[in-house]
Amino acid sequence: MFRRILIANRGEIALRVIRACRELGVESVCVYSTADKDAPYLKLADRAICIGPGPAKESYLNIPRIISAAEMADVDAIHPGYGFLSERAEFAQICRDCKIEFIGPSPEAMAKLGDKVECKKTAKANKVPIFPGSEGAIEDEDEAAKIAAEIGYPVIIKASAGGGGRGMRVCHNEATLRSNIKQASTEAQAAFGNGAVFIEKFLEHARHVEVQCLGDKHGHAIHLYERDCSMQRRHQKVIEEAPGPGIDRRKRDAVCEAAARLIKAAEYSGAATVEFLMDEKQNFYMLEVNTRVQVEHPVTELITGIDIVKTMIRVAAGEELPYKQRDITIRGHAIECRINAEDPDKGFRPSAGKIDTWHAPGGPGVRLDTHVVQGYTVPPNYDSMIGKLLVHADTRDEALTRMARALREFTVGPIKTTIPLQLRLMENSDFRKGGIDIHFLERMLK
């Protein structure tokens, strides 16, 4: 096991990794920007090192500063958390060059799965269902039009290096497809330094189902079942849950086994999430692979009893996965609400500032992952998530009721949060039925 780990992140995920380190008996070194200098979680790390000013480019995204801190603190490994440098293959490569273990996949596995065209090729070769479309990157308009005529409209243009909905265009006919393809490629080149685009069949009504996977450096890969993350707005998830409501046993096994197959084929080590869209008949199609620990990983921890962050650290240190697939079973139902410092009544405008009132919920089956305490000031520099409220119960219905109860206990002020919206959603009859699609929330807010 490692002696000491540097955490190249901030907020609740930095605290989540500090806690995992403490339980593993590993020292933690947290880096921070001046905007986070008073953050209380820094006191829980064994050491905290300032790496620069508030803007992420000068701190949490600044590779030389992070590597300098790692060298100075003499760490064995770096945990990147999510966001920031977590999915940058160059960063994983620099860590390797500096003989610091990157807690995540190899740069090769990251690059292979992070490139959507490459990822789809690997998926296809391993019988993981994908949307029909171009086999690789599209070279010109005529080629796009020919493929679209075969698969039928609507089609969607995506950037191979894009992700999380960036660089996508839906086309309902040949004219719009032709006029969009070049522009999409030019924009992808400017945004991602890679102009490769591809097209696939566009699915209108779908659920977002993603499968949590774990791999080790000895060729093992398992899945920890799925999460449903359909409750989202502008590609920002608002509520996640596990298992996916109403998914049949056979479909569940099929999607989860497909995801684990892909991770194994990529010789992946660490935590990965394979994203799928699922239609009304529970047919599923792979979208992309996230090569990091995700915000919503705790819902999976609650239903499986497995500590995903500790397992990531163990496999990065070279240990074999301590679980076989048959050890993984689902117990009950878990729901997560992402608590954001935003005002849902004002277009989800960020609501940074000092938190004078913070009464956190508790009691049976409640977990709160947050770096916030009463008196904490939310800095304006970063994303607006201030915590994740989770519940676990025997059934989905009990979990929904428990979440409503916990949200009612939660008092935050004077900043605005998403709590009132999430409380409304817990009482929404369509959500309670289960199986809402990815457009539900935006439809409801209109």
Which amino acid is residue 279, in one-letter code? D
Does residue number 438 form part of the binding site for ligand MV4 (CB under 6 A)?
A: yes
Closest by CA to 120, choosing from 276, 249, 320, is: 276
8 A C-beta contact, residue 357 and residue 350: no
Residue 118's H or E segment, with its range, is helix 116-125
Query: Treating both helix axes as pointing N-terminal to C-terminal, what angle do 89-97 and 107-114 enclose, rounded to 10 degrees?
Result: 170
Stretch that binds ligand MV4, among 6-14, 94-102, 196-204, 345-353 (CB under 6 A): 196-204
Site string for ligand MV4, 213-232 (x = CB under 6 A): -------------------x
Burial of 135 (0-12, 13-18, 19+ CB in 10 A): exposed
> Which residue's beta carbon is nearest to the bound ligand MV4?
165
Q: Which stretch binds ligand MV4 (CB under 6 A): 97-105, 201-209, 210-218, 400-408?
A: 201-209
Separation in Å, CA 314 to CA 46, 120, 215, 271, 296: 19, 29, 11, 11, 20
> Closest CB to ligand MV4 among 263 and 287?
287
CA distance 101 to 39: 26
Asked if residue 240 binds ligand MV4 (CB under 6 A), the reply is no
Using CB under 6 A as the binding rule, the residues of this chain from 271 to 330 that contact ligand MV4 are 275, 277, 287-288
Q: Which is nearer to ligand MV4, 33 or 230 (CB)?
A: 230
Our finding on whether 360 is near ligand MV4 (CB under 6 A) is: no
Shortest distance, CB of residue 242 to ligand MV4, whole angstroms?
16
Alpha carbons 146 and 59: distance in angstroms, whole number: 47
Give the strand pairing for 27-33 and 4-7: parallel
Beta-strand relationship, 333-340 and 236-242: antiparallel
Is residue 295 helix, strand or coil?
coil
Q: Is 131 in the site for ligand MV4 (CB under 6 A)?
A: yes
Among 41, 202, 276, 284, binds ligand MV4 (CB under 6 A): 202
Task: Considering the complex, state which of residue 44 and residue 203 has its C-beta at the smaller distance from ligand MV4.
Answer: 203
DSSP alpha helix (H) spans, 193-307? 249-265, 297-304
Q: What are phi and psi of 359, to 5 degrees?
A: -110, 105
Instruction: Provide the minimum distance between the beta carbon of 388 and ligand MV4 in the complex, in angstroms, as a whole number.
Output: 18
Which residues, numbered 101-130, are part of the site for ligand MV4 (CB under 6 A)? none
CB-wise, 164 or 380, nearer to ligand MV4? 164
Largest CA distance in the chain: 61
Check if 424 is active-site. no
When the beta carbons of 233 and 314 are compared against ligand MV4, the nearer one is 233
Contacts for 43-47: CB closer than 8 Å, 24+ residues apart: 44/15, 44/18, 44/19, 45/7, 45/14, 45/18, 46/4, 47/73
| Residue 200 binds ligand MV4 (CB under 6 A) | yes
The CB-of-181 to ligand MV4 minimum distance in angstroms stands at 16
Residue 309 CB, shortest distance to ligand MV4, in Å, is 24
CB of 400 to ligand MV4, least distance (A): 21
156 forms part of the interface with ligand MV4 (CB under 6 A) = yes
Beta strands in 245-332 (DSSP E): 270-278, 284-290
SS3 of 35-77: the string is HHCCCHHHHHCCEEEEEECCCHHHCCCCHHHHHHHHHHHCCCE
- Contact track, ligand MV4, 161-190, x by CB under 6 A: ---xx-------------------------
Nearer Cβ to ligand MV4, position 155 or 415? 155
Q: Which of residues 49-78 bind ligand MV4 (CB under 6 A)?
A: none
Which is catalytic among the residues 169, 227, 292, 402?
A: 292
DSSP letter at 348? Answer: T
Cα 206 to Cα 249: distance, rounded to the nearest angstrom: 19
Q: Which stretch binds ligand MV4 (CB under 6 A): 198-206, 299-307, 359-367, 371-379?
A: 198-206
Q: Is residue 152 near ligand MV4 by the rule CB under 6 A?
A: no
**288, β-bridge pairs:** 275
Query: What minimum distance in Å lies between the beta carbon of 2 and ligand MV4?
Result: 33
Nearer to ligand MV4, 201 or 338 (CB): 201
| 89: contact with ligand MV4 by CB under 6 A | no
Count residues binding ligand MV4 (CB under 6 A).
16
Query: Could you tell me the smallest distance in angstroms from the CB atom of residue 38 to ligand MV4?
Result: 36
Considering only 46-54, 200-208, 315-323, 376-384, which stretch makes contact with ligand MV4 by CB under 6 A?
200-208
**Residue closer to ligand MV4, measured from CB, 205 or 331:** 205
Going by C-alpha positions, the residue among 295, 419, 268 that lies closest to residue 355 is 419
C-alpha span between 180 and 178 (Å, rounded): 6
The residues assigned a catalytic role are 292
Residue ranges binding ligand MV4 (CB under 6 A): 131, 156, 164-165, 200-203, 208, 232, 235, 275, 277, 287-288, 438
